[in-house]
Homo-oligomer: A and B are copies of this chain.
Amino acid sequence: MATAFARNQWYVAAYGSEVSRTFLARTILGEPIVFYRTAGDARVVALADRCVHRRYPLSESSLDGDNVVCGYHGFTYDTSGTCVFVPGQQRIPRTARVASYPVAEVDSFVWVWIGEAELADESLIPRAPHMAAPEFVTVSGMEPIDCDYGLLVDNLLDLSHETYLHAGFIGTPEVARTPITTEADEQAGIVRVARHMMDAECPPFYAKSTGIGGRITRLQDIEYFAPCLYLLHSRISPVGEQAPVFRTEITYAITPSAPGKVYDFWAVSRDFATGDAEVTEFLRDFNHQVVMQDVVALNILQKALDTEPEGYQELSIGIDAGGLAARRILADLAAR
């Protein structure tokens, strides 16, 4: 029942701020990759994280300038993955190279291309411009989850769970109660889910960050660019007034690490109270708690599925329209 991996796609591997002159090891779609920056132009390098000699992880190695020196026997690679030194002899075998991966830094993320390098087209990277835009302030983090990445896609495309799993944080009765509209562009690989609550309770997340006291108009517009990028455009305003509207952009990158393992990148960007450090810290802490509720639940859910007999049946209803569309798109991308 594991969701298949879609190759020949861009995936978020890290925040740009995570990649430095110290190695960062991440496994993406089952491929171990080591990331670092060059000394001069601070370009991100992504190499296969296995020495060609005895398969030792290069992330356990050291840098000599921009070259990677394997920590076991000293095989040395340049930024293209070409071996430039081996111990005990002058001749370097022609086949001594490790794969290098196309990377691009876009909207504060480091994206990596998994698949055939010659197909890597940066214009295919879906955008989250608020992540780096000056009029927004963003808090963010990343949590690894021990679950099929499809469970996280399900989770994010069906926000009715906010009412139950995130009660007291971002959920109120109206979220589960309000019908959704779903739009899937299966050709483009995009799913849109809208839930517009015209008169709803204001959950603590928004009450404390916006200062709104009473009931609100709450618009949730999801855009999921399969397989990796998820945007939740959130608009909050006091009921009955024309203004102000508080914009919050909630961004997730869903990066499959290995079967049963996923990286859950999360960010909250706002265009209000941008100079208020207290609001920033509140949103960082509060949203981290919300994310951890999902992490705990998805770890539990995966364990439950792992111990079930084969062939159990799910039951899907209206709220699942977005998630089911996403599954079809992912299956199609994986099959290509």
Q: Which A residues contact B (CB, under 8 angstroms)?
A: 27, 30, 32, 50, 52-57, 60, 69-74, 86-89, 93, 95-96, 154, 158, 160-161, 163-165, 176-180, 258, 297, 300-301, 304-305, 307-309, 312-319
Contact = CB atoms under 8 A, between A and B. Distances in A.
Contact of A71 (B95, B165, B313): B165
B60 A300 contact: yes
A161 B89 contact: no
A163 B57 contact: no
B319 A32 contact: no
Contacts of A258: 307
The 3 closest A-B pairs by CB, nearest first: A87-B176, A87-B160, A88-B319
A87 B319 contact: yes
Contact of A72 (B55, B71, B297, B315): B297
Given A54-B314, A87-B160, A89-B179, A73 B307 contact: no
B165 A72 contact: yes
A161 B301 contact: no
B158 A56 contact: no
Which of A27, A71, A87 has its CB near the most chain B CB atoms (within 10 A)?
A: A87
A96 B50 CA distance: 49
A187 to B, nearest CB: 27
A113 to B, nearest CB: 19
